[in-house]
Amino acid sequence: MQIEQLRYFCMIVEQKTFSEAAFLLHISQSSLSKQVMKLEQELDTVLFNRSRRQVSLTKEGQQVYEDALRLLAEYDTLCANLKHLKKQACEKLRIAMLPVFSQYSLGHSIQGFLKHHNVQGNIQEIEERDLPAALQEQFDLYILRGEYEAFKEYSAYRSSEDELVCVVAKQHPLARKRQLAFSQLQNEKLLLFPSYTVVAKLCVRACEDAGFHPKIERHGRLETLLGAAREQEGVVLAMKGSLAQYQLSKLCIIPLQDTLKSCLYVYVNPSSIKKAGLRELLDYLQNAGEIKPVEGS
């Protein structure tokens, strides 16, 4: 006797017809009838009076129905308890990431892996200025923009490559430009990420390489900077990929003549590499084309 046979039997009792039960169970009526007949053969008893249009239970069928409900409830409890135990026993991974992580496909791939594998992920957003403290916490994975000397002993994987672009209001004079050189930003008020970030440092260095010191109107989070750009307070310099989730209807994205690129990197804590779940995650991301090992790391 199978659990599914009992479920089929109870569904017929509740729906009062084979046809309605078969419809709700997504099987054919003939298949459902065969399963009930097998159950009757195994129990050596007739469960239904089939002489009427609507099925009714025999005395024995009523007893089987009452007992089947108890059995199914106990079976469902058993399955739920096992699932809970497995969840408690699953391997845990601690992942530190930049706030931009969710804006790239790498983030979606990791979330997809955690959802369908017996691995529990504790994902914590960190700012680049908090990296020294995060290193002390011993995360299994760090997802950051750019290369860091602090991770020279870690295995490194290169992920999404992105390019720097300008964002201005559609009414801004620069909005008519198809492309911009950094020298054209000399007299513009720049809206940049916080000064401690890789992107902000990249922007300042690019301006200095172009022969001028940038006029920085303000530093802030991307959503704040985009709001300021809409009010024509200045020019935002940001990575193109990080703009995807924002409403840009009143803004214009302008590529830079001298393309500046930056990559996301995945750094693997050497003390965590023996974790089966971590190795499984890395294999998954490589097979998905999300990461590639950095030579020599």
pLDDT tens digits for range 162-179? 999 999 999 999 999 999
Q: Rounded to 10 degrees, what is the CA torsion of 125, 205, 162, 186?
A: 110
As a whole number of angstroms, the distance between CA 213 and CA 285 comes to: 40
Please give the chain's pLDDT, 297 residues, in tens.
789 999 999 999 998 888 888 889 889 999 989 998 999 999 999 998 877 667 889 999 899 999 999 999 999 999 988 877 766 667 889 999 887 777 788 888 999 999 888 888 889 988 888 888 888 888 999 998 888 888 888 999 999 889 999 999 999 999 999 999 999 999 999 999 999 998 999 999 999 999 999 999 999 999 999 999 999 999 999 999 888 888 898 999 999 998 898 888 999 999 998 888 999 999 999 999 999 999 876
Pick the CATH number of 3-88 from 1.10.10.10, 3.30.390.50, 3.40.50.10440, 3.40.47.10: 1.10.10.10
pLDDT, tens digit (0-9, with 9 covering 90-100), for 134-169: 888 889 999 988 888 888 889 999 998 899 999 999
- Residue 229's CB is within 10 A of a number of other CB atoms, namely 23
CATH for the stretch 92-297: 3.40.190.290
Please state the domain extents for the chain: 3-88, 92-297
Contact 162, 240 (CB under 8 A): yes
N-to-C CA span, the chain: 57
